[in-house]
Structure 1
């Protein structure tokens, strides 16, 4: 039985009435046409309003004409560099193109301008300047600041603002004090690191103070700290104590090293085609062994060595923190190269003309797992086919090597055909490369000027050789300082009908000497730091490059030594001003051939080219080269070449274009070379 609830009907009526009252305005607006929407500064008609409520995007506002500057600034400073710096960083510059800037707002900005200019001059080491800001005519009286906070401004109109600046004497850096807290403060093994940090920081002592140099000094000090042992180091405190009366600045840096960090195990990620042990060995060969001190330079060297091994397209070596906070595992992320790769190249040189090359690489030869690189190079005068095989390096970095090559050289009327076989071991170290090997050489020289009966027989030999190379350049792509030395020693025996012993030795030396006293010779542009992280690398005086080469083959006069074991020079990378293999011993048919003794020397002055006091990647070189080849040491008489050239530091290496004059042949030659190798 259903009973009606008391009061149910009145509640339903009231609910219906309330809903109708709430929904009625929305229903009425839905029936009415939308009214235009008015945007301040822009009129919109009914059709525009339809666009606003529809799904189509609102039409863009009409493009306005470019804003003309609301005022100009006449900056009167002692030199153009300071003038440009102040104009570039003045706060009032931000408002030059503000559409609604009025005279009242400009007057307020000009009242603050002297203090702003004083702050900018302080970053350049001028702490007692006189700054006068003259408003546009009609805007008000001059706004001046002489250091006593007196300012006046009565704006009235816009126009040209005149700023007169007398920077006063520049503040000199009297001293730089570096103190340490944490493990580095007392660790005996960090003594050299502390000395390097203090020496680097002290380079700005005696120079004009600037905020850019001060910031740079702190950055370099921190970088030196975290590069070895203390990757979590930080600048705990720094202070620049300015004595405005004596115009001196005393600088203080406090470095907190934290705990010393040590290397952990090597963890390789991404090894699929090739055994991960290869990457692990290359890392350990750089000195990153478990328990060794953290060293950023060794991490970078490990990354470079793995990348140069040829097995990987990309390599990333880094450390990862651990809960104990003292051990840092070495993480190696790899992207492996394909097992086989073919590269086709087209190039050229001033010595040999156009060049076509074909290179095939097999990173894991079936059955033995060696790496094989085979090349074919075709040039106007030279043709070469070679193959070089090498095993995976062992724990000491030694690899077994084997190679073969066949070559053909054309020189005027002479053709030299040669073959070479080599087998041995090689080690690529951090600073040193070493190898020892047995080598078989065979060479046949024929001349179109001689009859068949007068042609020489092929000469051959077998020799045991040892090669040693040390590189100590600051940069292996763009070296600025350092040296390299390479020495080869060999003893052998000629083959054929006449068998006689011989000894062969050769050496190469290349060194770079920076000129000048670091970068103090030229002040940087205002607001720019001096380059103190690499003293002497970038100076106006540049650097000298000295190259010396020598070689000797000691044997009886009648020993039939193959031409490929003798010496010849001339060309792009030896004695400029002469063609490839133009300097040698005169043969019976008048052609030039190799000799038993060699001497080459080259002195080059490399100077950076500056544009508006800013050094570019372009350099100029002035050089003198000399070289001599003879069959007896006493007959060495050098011929000389002089010239000049242009260098461009491109991403692929230094591009070199030289114009040289051969004093012996009295001819000019152009020489082109790419990259730096030693």
Structure 2
């Protein structure tokens, strides 16, 4: 009898094990998900549904899964409603034998944006010009949204933009009194309605400056171009803040106003700055295939003669190039121009040409929005020695203008946008120069996303120095090419004019580059490129060359690392280009 009972128990245990669902076979509970949904909804559901978040949780249990399945259709419908799918149907089932969750989604028809209405009240009603301007902007914004898809983010953005538009000028205390998005389930249409109270019109009051202990107050006061009693403008405050933040004297700057709740509606300006120490030392180590190993040391003093003048000293030592520079930069005044005086020396031993270039000059630069204008007046003298024998000592007294436009989504790591640079400069033989010449140069870089992750970078440069002969012209007013940042596959500065066994600068330059980058892992990007161009004595003798290859880019925590393996088609040679810098 006992034996029969034992056999029955074993039989029951075996049958129970055979019939148990798949999740009982292991101690760690796992389940799969099969989602049947249009692409418009897939990413949203995968990102936000809890069933995906808990899929890898070790402590998740079958009981919790059943509970989540019962709540999933409602949760998914709420998510889809934020994208305008108010009639979506969601089914969720579980196959216990395979521990697989099946989710099926029918989106239905998406709701579109219909009419938009913004009603203004408050003091702005008595300001017909400003009132009309705002209503025109609201109308244009509504026209752009009408007949487009509705989503919660679009509705939130509409409210935010409308309020910020009113607050941007004259009415910083404007508030949103009422807002509603009326959904018509029959017409599948959403109507936007806003009621905004402008509040009173404000004017700027006096400015107070806080946080100064090292530098003179006039350093900041000269930057404040907002007249007391002028109409409130958010852009004027933003411009002042950006101007102060760009100054080397301050780590941070914050500009805001205090809004009184009762008349007179005069808003005092409050400027808060955080100063940096008087002195700063910087150093860096690096390597590039252009000039080999390098080290650099820099010193900056922010308050020369107690006037807020900035002194900079810099020494750079590389195997093929050495440089030293000292300069004094004067703070920008009411004209928004920054002035600088400097002196420098540059020694190079490249492609059979040993040169020492000495410069001194004065410059002025103005930066406004995405445009930078630079003017420089400088005197330079050079010592050139050729491997094949012979020496030259040209001198130039030059005037130069550089116009630069940067329209980039991110100045440090651009993915979209462009950079355009145009230069014009020259010298007259009658004024401290050995030759008369005019140099024109232009360069452009274009960045564009390709697909979700790819990036295209196109570059082109062209230049010409107009003169009867290159004799008597210092080297940096002529052109050489080759190496990283130019035509890869060829040695640095190796493309130019052959003279006395050396490669010297020519009077014409033309280069172009096409590069495609694609992310590989984390901060690494693979690159494929083709470069074309060169430098020559004139356009008739210019012999452009081609380089192509593969590379890698790494945005490391200590700086950017670039590596390229390039093939110089015309010289049938392979060159490795590498650049790395470490700041400390």
Q: Same fold (TM over 0.5)?
A: yes
Distance 1:102 1:425 in 2: 69
Measured against aligned partners, the alpha-carbon deviations of 1:566-620 in whole angstroms (never above 9, x if no partner) come to 222333333333332122112221x21111222233344566x599xxxx87766
- Match for residue 252 of structure 1 among 170, 186, 192: 192
Is residue 2:383 matched to residue 1:477? no
Q: Paired residue for 2:440?
A: 506
Q: Paired residue for 1:84?
A: 46
Is residue 2:474 matched to residue 1:562? yes
Q: Paired residue for 2:383?
A: 444
Q: 1:282 to 1:578 in 2, by over 3 A?
A: farther
2:293 is paired with a residue whose SS is: strand
Which residues of structure 2 form unaligned runs of 5+? 1-26
Question: What is the Cα-based RMSD across aligned positions, in Å?
Answer: 4.4
Describe how 1:209-228 pairs up with structure 2 within 5 A: 209-223=150-164, 226-227=167-168
Is residue 2:253 matched to residue 1:315? yes
Distance 1:437 1:362 in 2: 23
Is the deviation greater in 234-243 or in 349-358?
Answer: 234-243
Q: Paired residue for 2:4?
A: none
Distance 2:532 2:307 in 1: 47
Measured against aligned partners, the alpha-carbon deviations of 1:193-251 in whole angstroms (never above 9, x if no partner) come to 766666667666665544345435544555555455554444444444444455x3324
Measured against aligned partners, the alpha-carbon deviations of 1:413-433 in whole angstroms (never above 9, x if no partner) come to 321111111135444444544
Q: Would you say the 8 A contact 1:566–1:595 is kept in 2?
A: yes
Q: Paired residue for 1:279?
A: 220
Deviation at 1:382, TM superposition (A): 0.7
Q: Paired residue for 1:486?
A: 422
Deviation at 1:97, TM superposition (A): 6.7
Deviation at 1:443, TM superposition (A): 1.2
Is residue 2:542 matched to residue 1:583? no
Which residues of structure 1 form unaligned runs of 5+? 1-67, 138-158, 517-538
Q: Paired residue for 2:120?
A: 181
2:429 is paired with a residue whose SS is: strand
Is residue 2:88 matched to residue 1:129? yes
Describe how 1:327-342 pairs up with structure 2 within 5 A: 327-342=266-281
Q: Paired residue for 1:3?
A: none
Q: 1:257 to 1:372 in 2, by over 3 A?
A: farther
Describe how 1:139-288 pairs up with structure 2 within 5 A: 164-175=103-114, 177-182=116-121, 188=129, 208-223=149-164, 226-227=167-168, 230-245=171-186, 248-254=188-194, 256=196, 258-259=198-199, 260-284=201-225, 288=226
Q: Would you say the 8 A contact 1:170–1:208 is kept in 2?
A: no
| TM-score (normalizing by structure 2) | 0.77
Distance 1:637 1:317 in 2: 56
Deviation at 1:362, TM superposition (A): 1.9
- Match for residue 418 of structure 1 among 344, 354, 357: 357
Q: Would you say the 8 A contact 1:385–1:406 is kept in 2?
A: yes
Q: 1:276 to 1:70 in 2, by over 3 A?
A: same
Distance 1:187 1:650 in 2: 55
Deviation at 1:377, TM superposition (A): 0.2
Describe how 1:645-660 pairs up with structure 2 within 5 A: 645=551, 657-660=563-566
1:394 is paired with a residue whose SS is: coil
Q: 1:264 to 1:459 in 2, by over 3 A?
A: same
In terms of Rg, which structure is larger? 1
- Match for residue 355 of structure 1 among 287, 294, 299: 294
1:634 is paired with a residue whose SS is: coil
Q: 1:337 to 1:134 in 2, by over 3 A?
A: closer
Distance 2:94 2:348 in 1: 79
Deviation at 1:477, TM superposition (A): 2.9
Deviation at 1:357, TM superposition (A): 0.7
Distance 1:671 1:193 in 2: 55
Q: 1:604 to 1:73 in 2, by over 3 A?
A: closer
Distance 1:621 1:350 in 2: 18
Q: 1:72 to 1:397 in 2, by over 3 A?
A: closer
Deviation at 1:504, TM superposition (A): 2.5
Distance 2:577 2:289 in 1: 6
Q: 1:305 to 1:254 in 2, by over 3 A?
A: same
Q: Paired residue for 2:9?
A: none
Deviation at 1:659, TM superposition (A): 4.6
Q: Would you say the 8 A contact 2:94–2:101 is kept in 1?
A: yes
Q: 1:201 to 1:488 in 2, by over 3 A?
A: farther
2:303 is paired with a residue whose SS is: coil
Describe how 1:28-107 pairs up with structure 2 within 5 A: 77-78=36-37, 81=43, 84-85=46-47, 87-88=49-50
Distance 1:642 1:459 in 2: 37
Is residue 2:541 matched to residue 1:629? no
Q: Paired residue for 1:390?
A: 329
Deviation at 1:166, TM superposition (A): 3.5
Aligned residues: 546
